[in-house]
Amino acid sequence: MTYILAATGLRSEARIIARRGIEVIACGGHGDVLSARLSARIAAARPAGLLSIGIAGALDPELRVGDVVTDGDGGWLDIRNGAGILVRHAGTGQHDEQEGAGSADKFRRVIGTPMPAATAAAKAQLRAATGAAAVDMESHVVARVAAAHALPFVVLRVISDTAVRDLPAAACVPLTDSGGVRLGAVLAAVLRDPRQIGALVGLARDTRFALEVLARFRIEALPQ
């Protein structure tokens, strides 16, 4: 059976996305882990294409929580939201780590970085250097693996934090390599600085909304 191989960071994203015809690997932002797992799965059974999907941080100041950005070669994938609107995008397929070549469609361009863009200043620097609209921690890995195996790929990301937001330290605690939250480490970070609780609550609210938007999408590989 033809299937789509999807990559994301959070286990909660994977639970939303996984269904018949879509296999999801959650990596917690660990790029080497993701690369190895994607390659192993492709070797076992070649998919129709790769999908980088989940939430992302905005680099474009005009983007708001819940906005959707896409990139990659969308010609092989049918992506519809709950209202039945097609969201298909054929982009440049360039997903660089921080410095990237120019793109003809900069508004929708998504880049991947190995570390989170945790401050408004860091996001502004990435925006100025790349012209990208959003950033995540998986898309550059998916792009490299797709190129290595001559597979098409698509990025579909929902904005969960805006370009002007500084992430609290507790939100930047590394995840497990299966996308789980290290609750003890998060609590320790909060205890070190309880002032970040308000920011954490706001981020959790916005993340929950972004995941609700993500859950409305229906994704299928088009017939070859």
pLDDT the model gives residue 86? 44
Nearest to 165 by CA among 204, 129, 194: 204
pLDDT over 80 (residue 98): no
Average pLDDT of every residue of the chain: 87
pLDDT the model gives residue 82? 63
Q: Which secondary structure element, helix H or strand E, spans residue 38, and what is its range?
A: helix 31-44
Structure tokens at 154: 């698509």
Overall pTM surpassing 0.95 (yes/no)? no
Q: Which residues face 70 on adjacent strands?
A: 156
Distance between CA atoms of 161 and 123, rounded to whole angstroms? Answer: 11
Contact of 89 with 74, CB cutoff 8 Å: yes
Contact of 54 with 8, CB cutoff 8 Å: yes
74, 81, 46, 152: CA torsion to nearest 10: 10
Phi-psi region of 4 (alpha: psi -120 to 50; beta: other; left: phi over 0): beta
Q: What are phi and psi of 106, to 5 degrees?
A: -75, -25
pLDDT the model gives residue 70? 87
Overall average pLDDT of the 188-214 stretch: 95
Distance between CA atoms of 6 and 18, rounded to whole angstroms? Answer: 8
Q: Which secondary structure element, helix H or strand E, spans residue 153, and what is its range?
A: strand 153-161
Contact of 28 with 174, CB cutoff 8 Å: yes
Between 39 and 96, the more confident residue is 39
